[in-house]
Amino acid sequence: MEPIDVDEILKRAHELTHGPRGDTYGPPHEDYARVSEIYRAVTGGEMRDSADAALFMVCMKLARIGYNREKRRLHVDSVVDSCGYLWVYAQCAQDLEHDFV
């Protein structure tokens, strides 16, 4: 296994957080305000387990899809990620033995 270049990780994280994401998702405080609004609307606001954590990620992607929708853009990455997080949600719910209807 190759050693981890921590400086490269930090550099990439800086590039991601200080790059064009603001145009794609809006400022972080607005982005996560939308996420929390969606999450509260779906769950009532309480995060109880891993399924809820996965659902939070779905809400994040929905907020980002909505932001881009307002700009008449389709952010394909968020659509793909949403599908993946929905699978994660279902898997977590199954593993936690939630009732399925």
Beta carbons of 51 and 96 less than 8 angstroms apart: yes
More confident of the two residues 33 and 9: 33
Q: What's the pLDDT tens digit per position in 5-23?
A: 889 888 988 888 888 877 8
- The residue with tokens 């969606």 is 38
Helices (H), the chain: 6-18, 21-25, 28-43, 50-70, 76-95
Between the ranges 17-26, 42-51, 54-63, where is the mean pLDDT highest?
54-63
User: If residue 1 lies in a helix (H) or strand (E), which one and from where to where?
Assistant: none
- The residue with tokens 């991601």 is 16
pLDDT at 98: 85
| Amino acid (1-letter code) at residue 40 | R
Distance CA 35, CA 42 (A): 11
